[in-house]
C-alpha cells in the first residue's frame, strides 16, 4: 500500500502548486495550510517561516523534476547534439495546457523574492544552475563531435537554454498563451542547430 504523504510533503506540494498559480507574495500561510489540509501548528512544526518553506520547496522541486528529466526518453539519442536538441523539444512539448501546470516554481518565486528573500533567491538560483549542469556533458560531447561555428562555453550555453525557457514562461503568462513559450524554444532549437550545423547538413526539427 502506498505511503500517505506526511504534513511536510503536503505543504511542499501545496507551495509549489499555489505559488505557480498565484505567486509567492500572494500566497499566505493560512492558504497553504488549507491547500495542504494541515493545521497551522503543523506548518510551524516543519517550517519556521513562509520563506523557509519557499527554500525547501525549491529544493523539493529540484529533486523531483531532476528525477523526471533523468528518466526522460531524450537520453536515448546516440548523438550528443541530437540529445541536446531532443531535450529542448521535450521541454517545448511540455509547454501546453493551463499555465500553472507547466510553468516553473523556481522562476516564479525568484522573480518576486530575489531582493526580499536572499535565501529563496539562492535556493532557486542553485536549482536552476544544477539543472543546467546536467546538460553540460552533452554540450561538451557535441562540441567535440560537431565543432561549432563560434566558440561555445558549455555551462554558459546550458544556462542560456534555461534563460530562454524561463523567458518563454513569462511570455506565455503575459500573452496568456502557451504557444508563446513554445515559439521561444523553437527559436533556440534553430539557433543551436545552426551553431553546430556544417553548411552541407540539412536543418530539420526532427520532432
Q: What is the pLDDT of residue 2?
A: 53
Average pLDDT for residues 100-107, to the nearest whole number? 94
Task: State the chain's mean pLDDT as an integer.
Answer: 93
The helix (H) or strand (E) run that includes residue 29 is helix 29-36
Cell of 142: 557535441
Query: Using one digit for the tens of pLDDT, what is the confidence trace for 55-85?
Result: 999 999 999 999 999 999 999 999 999 999 9
- Asked whether 103 and 170 are in contact (CB, 8 A), the reply is no
Average pLDDT for residues 90-106, to the nearest whole number? 95
Report field, pTM of the whole predicted structure over 0.75: yes
Portion of the chain with pLDDT greater than 90, in percent: 90
Q: Of 197, 192, 169, 195, nearest to 88 (Cα)?
A: 192
Distance from chain centroid for Cα 74: 16
Show me where the domains of the chain are located: 54-196
Q: Of 193, 183, 198, nearest to 82 (Cα)?
A: 193
Q: Assign 24 to helix, strand or coil.
A: coil
- Asked whether 109 and 19 are in contact (CB, 8 A), the reply is yes
CATH code of the domain occupying 54-196: 1.10.357.10
Distance CA 112, CA 121 (A): 9
- Asked whether 46 and 13 are in contact (CB, 8 A), the reply is no
- Asked whether 165 and 90 are in contact (CB, 8 A), the reply is no
Query: Using one digit for the tens of pLDDT, what is the confidence trace for 144-196?
Result: 999 999 999 999 999 999 999 999 999 999 999 999 999 999 999 999 999 99
Cell of 155: 555551462
Amino acid at each position: 500500500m502506498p505511503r500517505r504523504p506526511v504534513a511536510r510533503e503536503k505543504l511542499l506540494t501545496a507551495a509549489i502548486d499555489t505559488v505557480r498559480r498565484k505567486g509567492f507574495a500572494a500566497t499566505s500561510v493560512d492558504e497553504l495550510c488549507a491547500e495542504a489540509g494541515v493545521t497551522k501548528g503543523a506548518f510551524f512544526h516543519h517550517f519556521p517561516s513562509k520563506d523557509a518553506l519557499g527554500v525547501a520547496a525549491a529544493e523539493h522541486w529540484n529533486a523531483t523534476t531532476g528525477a523526471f528529466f533523468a528518466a526522460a526518453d531524450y537520453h536515448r539519442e546516440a548523438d550528443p547534439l541530437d540529445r541536446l536538441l531532443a531535450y529542448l523539444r521535450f521541454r517545448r512539448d511540455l509547454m501546453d495546457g493551463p499555465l500553472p501546470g507547466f510553468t516553473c516554481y523556481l522562476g516564479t518565486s525568484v522573480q518576486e523574492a530575489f531582493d526580499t528573500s536572499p535565501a529563496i533567491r539562492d535556493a532557486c538560483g542553485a536549482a536552476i544552475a544544477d539543472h543546467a549542469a546536467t546538460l553540460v556533458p552533452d554540450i561538451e560531447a557535441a562540441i567535440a563531435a560537431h565543432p561549432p561555428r563560434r566558440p561555445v562555453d558549455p555551462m554558459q550555453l546550458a544556462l542560456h537554454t534555461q534563460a530562454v525557457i524561463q523567458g518563454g514562461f513569462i511570455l506565455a503568462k503575459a500573452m496568456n498563451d502557451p504557444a508563446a513559450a513554445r515559439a521561444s524554444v523553437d527559436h533556440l532549437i534553430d539557433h543551436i542547430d545552426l551553431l553546430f550545423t556544417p553548411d552541407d547538413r540539412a536543418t530539420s526539427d526532427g520532432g
